[in-house]
């Protein structure tokens, strides 16, 4: 009689393919799924009753900024309690190496208490392995970090030696197992890069399977051209493309996603692997500094890459050392400080340089149009400022898609939503034997209740865990049991295969 390490009995299995769910027992031995089917005669050291629950591959958060959080908070409960078993780090040009530039870039997003010293991307991945996070981590190299290290904040094209330095650092990342290169073209210093610079770098990845992911140069009036630029970079370099947090920002631009979704479809028809990720909210979040850099609250310049925003639309999320400002809109702070809105925002940044903001800037129709589209996978884009008032997407992204958009609004079927969060994401990022419930695959699994799963974090109280996520397994070890984190930290670094 078969005996396993873990046996999950009688769950409705959504296997990550998007196909019809089926009822089965799922057995785990060591790190992998050992058997699926009717396993009545079998026993196990740990038996879990899965009846009336859904069992899916663990969710793959393809868009995170958890590079340092995985070192500082290796339990990663803010992700695992939402069903996430793999994070892709290094997005929007904010990569983890070279070290000094990474401290400046990622440290601005989420102030780094103690980050160990390390050399290069290989050193970062070794530091991750030493920290033993609870979930798996795949890494993108970040163009902004490479550029900052090579040429500081120079607002010009790189000289030959500077481009060479970026290429060498990218080669080192690819050698270490990076899954691709990200860019952040509204941010310092990525926004000074011309298309040619990005093509030159992306070319290093041709034939490796690594992808080019981009926070576009413009998500507002210039959105359509910016999607075109990302596609052109992928086509010229011969690499797959990932459009980060696909959206149309700013009221004047609502509805433009209809056109960008068509652009994606036509590039796919030409054979390019271009897809997107999305977080399920009408508000975004980024550095307040970046909001100002893009011309916010000024009448004398055209709005930049995040579109026209009003002082009521922008709310301080985290302001290290200035907790009293957190949760206040720029309009409210302007009143409080007796300053014009732009001056008030500059005052916040002067006193809390790493301040982040939540920006209410998208339409619900656009969010649903993007979510419904088959090119879209799910990425939280959460900024891990656990002490401030982070955007609720940090904890709640996947539960919100499953509860609010799938069950309550019927925007897409559950099996399809699970596919977008698992098998689809694993295929795009080259994660072998992940994102699937199949004998022989790694046992990254989430058991959830489709009737009750829901996001609970709000903009007022974002640090709340979602409901309905019951058990989570990473590489066969249970990291969440009955909704509560265990002490297990079985995560692996996921390096690019081949």
Relative to beta strand 469-474, strand 59-61 is unpaired
Give me the half-sphere count of Cα atoms (radius 13 Å) on the Cβ side of residue 209: 15
44 sits near Zn ion (criterion: CB under 5 A): no
- Asked if 392 contacts 281 with a C-beta cutoff of 8 angstroms, the reply is yes
Residue nearer to Zn ion on the CB measure, 56 or 249 = 249
Residue 243 CB, nearest approach to Zn ion (Å): 11
Residue 9 CB, nearest approach to Zn ion (Å): 42
To the nearest 10°, the Cα dihedral for 85, 202, 259, 91?
A: 30
Outline where DSSP puts E strands in 84-209. 84-89, 136-142, 180-184
User: d(Cα 454, Cα 457) in Å, to the nearest integer?
Assistant: 9
Q: In terms of C-beta density within 10 A (0-12 exposed, 13-18 middle, 19 or more buried), how is residue 438 classed?
A: middle
Residue nearer to Zn ion on the CB measure, 214 or 436 = 214
At what angle are helices 120-131 and 99-109 packed, to 10 degrees?
A: 60
List the interface residues with Zn ion, window 415-474 (CB under 5 A): none
Residue nearer to Zn ion on the CB measure, 212 or 473 = 212
Residue nearer to Zn ion on the CB measure, 121 or 215 = 215
Per CB under 5 A, which region of 150-158, 211-219, 362-370, 383-391 contacts Zn ion?
211-219
Residue 90 CB, nearest approach to Zn ion (Å): 11
List the interface residues with Zn ion, window 74-103 (CB under 5 A): 92
**How far from 227 is each of 155, 444, 471, CA to CA, in Å?**
23, 33, 38
Among 215, 246, 308, 420, binds Zn ion (CB under 5 A): 215
Residue 300 CB, nearest approach to Zn ion (Å): 26
Residue 286 CB, nearest approach to Zn ion (Å): 7
Per CB under 5 A, which region of 30-38, 191-199, 209-217, 324-332 contacts Zn ion?
209-217
Residue nearer to Zn ion on the CB measure, 215 or 256 = 215
Q: Which residues have C-beta within 8 Å of that of residue 317, sequence separation ≥ 6?
A: 285, 326, 355, 356, 357, 358, 383, 385, 388, 389, 390, 391
Helix (H, G, I), strand (E, B) or coil at 494: strand
Residue nearer to Zn ion on the CB measure, 73 or 215 = 215
Residue nearer to Zn ion on the CB measure, 292 or 488 = 292
Per CB under 5 A, which region of 215-223, 249-257, 400-408, 436-444 contacts Zn ion?
215-223
Residue 94 CB, nearest approach to Zn ion (Å): 8
Residue 381 CB, nearest approach to Zn ion (Å): 6
The count of residues interacting with Zn ion (CB under 5 A) is 2
> What is the CB neighbour count within 10 angstroms for residue 427?
18
> What is the CB neighbour count within 10 angstroms for residue 482?
10
Outline where DSSP puts E strands in 222-318. 241-243, 274-278, 283-287, 314-318
- Asked if 381 contacts 279 with a C-beta cutoff of 8 angstroms, the reply is yes
Per CB under 5 A, which region of 140-148, 207-215, 259-267, 347-355 contacts Zn ion?
207-215
**How far from 110 is each of 355, 384, 387, 488, CA to CA, in Å?**
9, 6, 10, 25
Residue 143 CB, nearest approach to Zn ion (Å): 12
Residue nearer to Zn ion on the CB measure, 218 or 444 = 218
Per CB under 5 A, which region of 26-34, 159-167, 208-216, 441-449 contacts Zn ion?
208-216
Residue nearer to Zn ion on the CB measure, 13 or 213 = 213
Binding residues for Zn ion, rule: CB under 5 A, are 92, 215
């Amino acid at each position: 009689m078969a005996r396993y390490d873990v046996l999950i009995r009688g769950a409705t299995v959504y296997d990550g393919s998007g196909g019809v769910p089926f009822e089965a027992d799922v057995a785990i031995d060591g790190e992998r799924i050992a058997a699926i089917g009717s396993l009545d005669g079998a026993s196990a050291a740990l038996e879990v009753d899965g009846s009336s629950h859904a069992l899916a591959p663990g969710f793959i958060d393809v868009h995170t900024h958890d590079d340092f959080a995985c070192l500082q908070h290796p339990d990663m409960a803010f992700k695992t309690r939402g069903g996430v078993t793999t994070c892709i780090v290094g997005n929007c040009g904010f990569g983890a190496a070279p070290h000094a530039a990474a401290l400046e870039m990622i440290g601005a997003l989420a102030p780094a208490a103690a980050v160990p010293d390390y050399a290069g991307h290989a050193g970062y991945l070794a530091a991750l392995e030493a920290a033993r996070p609870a979930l798996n981590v795949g890494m993108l190299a970040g163009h902004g970090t490479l550029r900052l290290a090579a040429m500081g904040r120079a607002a010009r094209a790189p000289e030959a030696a500077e481009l060479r330095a970026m290429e060498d650092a990218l080669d080192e990342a690819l050698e270490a197992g990076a899954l691709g290169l990200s860019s952040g073209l509204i941010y310092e210093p990525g926004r000074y890069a011309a298309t040619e610079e990005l093509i030159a770098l992306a070319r290093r990845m041709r034939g490796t399977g690594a992808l080019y992911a981009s926070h576009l140069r413009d998500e507002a009036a210039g959105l359509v051209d910016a999607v075109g630029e990302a596609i052109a970079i992928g086509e010229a370099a011969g690499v797959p493309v990932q459009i980060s947090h696909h959206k149309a920002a700013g009221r004047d631009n609502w509805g433009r996603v209809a056109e960008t979704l068509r652009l994606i479809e036509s590039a796919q028809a030409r054979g390019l692997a271009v897809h997107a990720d999305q977080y399920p909210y009408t508000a975004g979040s980024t550095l307040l500094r970046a909001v100002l850099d893009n011309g916010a609250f000024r009448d004398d310049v055209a709005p930049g890459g995040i579109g026209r925003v009003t002082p009521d639309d922008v709310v301080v999320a985290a302001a290290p050392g200035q907790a009293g400002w957190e949760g206040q809109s720029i309009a409210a702070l302007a009143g409080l400080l007796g300053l014009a809105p732009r001056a008030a925002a500059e005052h916040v940044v002067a006193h809390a340089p790493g301040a982040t903001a939540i920006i209410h800037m998208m339409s619900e129709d656009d969010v649903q149009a993007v979510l419904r589209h088959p090119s879209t996978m799910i990425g939280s884009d959460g900024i891990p400022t656990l002490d401030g008032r982070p955007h609720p997407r940090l904890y709640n992204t996947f539960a919100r898609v499953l509860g609010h958009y799938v069950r309550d609004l019927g925007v897409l079927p559950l099996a399809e939503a699970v596919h977008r969060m698992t098998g689809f994401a694993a295929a795009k990022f080259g994660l072998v034997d992940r994102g699937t419930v199949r004998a022989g695959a790694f046992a990254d699994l989430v058991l959830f209740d489709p009737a009750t799963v829901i996001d609970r974090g709000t903009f007022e109280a974002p640090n709340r865990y979602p409901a309905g996520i019951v058990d989570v397994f990473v590489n066969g070890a249970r990291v969440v049991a009955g909704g509560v984190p265990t002490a297990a930290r079985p995560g692996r670094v996921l390096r690019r295969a081949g």
